[in-house]
Structure 1
Amino acid sequence: MGLIGDGLDRAVQQADTRPIPKTAGAQMRYLVRQLDGTRAVAGLLGISQRTVERYVRGQFKHPRPDLAERLADAVRARWQPGVRARARKAAATQGIVIETRARFGFTAAPGTTDDGRMRRLTQALPPGYAGRLFSAREQGASERELERIAAEGLQEVYFKDGGRRAGDLRVEFTDIDYVEFGL
């Protein structure tokens, strides 16, 4: 997806209580159970159904690096859905920490500066913004929409200090170098 969407996914994955299966055969068997058949797994991974069957039976053990990465990503995306749902719910009620290095530009009253500059911020976002981020992510929002929600949260919490200063300020969140989230 994008930096923010992937960052939210990584934050939720940190809540996993067990690691994903280690071997290719165990990962294939897990996907076959989750997707109800080898044909669906083959379509997901872009390989033949016969190849999936060979991994399931243990005839193939070591996938090519690109297949190993796709396989691990597919398992990771479906791993422990209940644990991840509880983590998202907890973040929506307790808040989330965002750490980013990005260009922040401002639109403010005349006579003030609006030159953007790179800043590194680590800030706790309140539950409302965390809930909006996860809700938008689950509904398939675009990366631009996720950036807008994160910018709005940083604007209110960091730049406006909860309404104590810079009432007319509008923050633009662009040129993201990196973004990480913590639950």
Structure 2
Amino acid sequence: MSATPVLDALWAIHRTERDKLAAVPQRGMPKSPQAQVAFLHRRLGRSTARVARLLGVHPETVRRYLRGQRRNPPAAFADRLHQQVAARFRSRLARKTDDAMRRRGLRAYITATFTFESASAGTSDDGRERRLDEDLTASETQRLLAARDAGDEKGALQIVGQGVAEAYFGLRGSGMDVDLRDLVHIKFEL
């Protein structure tokens, strides 16, 4: 198993869902230089100066593309323009993917050893391996995606362990802590 199994599993479901969204016919990335400049202009708050700084050109150049007075950009400018548009267009698809995961929540398929601890009962010494598949709540999914974005494997593992165990064992609101050890397998689905 890799050093970051939870984060790897989260990125795998992200890629799968992103590919599903990308397969659905959507408005494609702008192709003409005028459409690309207009796309950046909208994305950057309709600021000609910000677009010009981003592309390394004079603001009047941006205005000429917006008005359709320039159509054939030099190769270096066309490359910079395409890169900036592609970066923002892809991030929009990634944002839609994460939004879909937050909205629907994730289902975790996990094989690991679970132990329990509470203030009144103490700690269970006889943790045992279990194969569980449970739905995470919307707030747990939100926290899990935040841990993924921060690169926090330990935090993600704790969120998954607590969420799955609370759902499976009916511990929500009980104050009992769950420790997930010896992770064997983890996979996520929507």
Q: Same fold (TM over 0.5)?
A: yes
Q: Which has the larger radius of gyration?
A: 2
Report the Cα distance in structure 2 between the residues aligned to 1:9 and 1:111, rounded to whole angstroms. Answer: 36
TM-score (norm: length of structure 1): 0.58
Task: Give the direction of change, closer, same or farther, for the CA distance of 1:133–1:112 in structure 2 (3 Å limit).
Answer: closer
Which residue pairs with 1:178 in the alignment?
A: 185
Which residue pairs with 1:116 in the alignment?
A: 127
TM-score (norm: length of structure 2): 0.56
Kindly indicate whether residue 161 of structure 2 is the aligned counterpart of residue 159 of structure 1: no
Report the Cα distance in structure 2 between the residues aligned to 1:85 and 1:155, rounded to whole angstroms. Answer: 29
Write out the 4+ residue segments of structure 1 that deviate beyond 3 Å after TM superposition: 79-82, 108-114
Which residue pairs with 1:10 in the alignment?
A: 12
Kindly indicate whether residue 138 of structure 2 is the aligned counterpart of residue 127 of structure 1: yes
- Deviation per CA, 1:132-165: give whole Å up to 9, x if none: 1111211232x111111112212332223544xx
- Percent of aligned pairs with the same amino acid: 28
Q: Is the 8 A contact 1:100 1:180 kept in 2?
A: yes
Shift of 1:88: 1.2
Moved more, 122-131 or 103-112: 103-112
Report the Cα distance in structure 2 between the residues aligned to 1:106 and 1:176, rounded to whole angstroms. Answer: 16
DSSP 3-state at the match of 2:96: helix
Segments of structure 2 that go 5 or more residues without pairing to the other structure are 24-88
DSSP 3-state at the match of 1:115: coil
Aligned residues: 120
- Deviation per CA, 1:84-105: give whole Å up to 9, x if none: 3212112212210000100001
Report the Cα distance in structure 2 between the residues aligned to 1:122 and 1:80, rounded to whole angstroms. Answer: 31
Which residue pairs with 1:31 in the alignment?
A: none
Q: Structure 2 matches for 1:96-115, cutoff 5 A? A: 96-108=106-118, 109-110=120-121, 113-115=124-126
Q: Is the 8 A contact 1:160 1:169 kept in 2?
A: no
Task: Give the direction of change, closer, same or farther, for the CA distance of 1:158–1:174 in structure 2 (3 Å limit).
Answer: same
Which residue pairs with 1:71 in the alignment?
A: none
Q: Is the 8 A contact 1:104 1:118 kept in 2?
A: yes
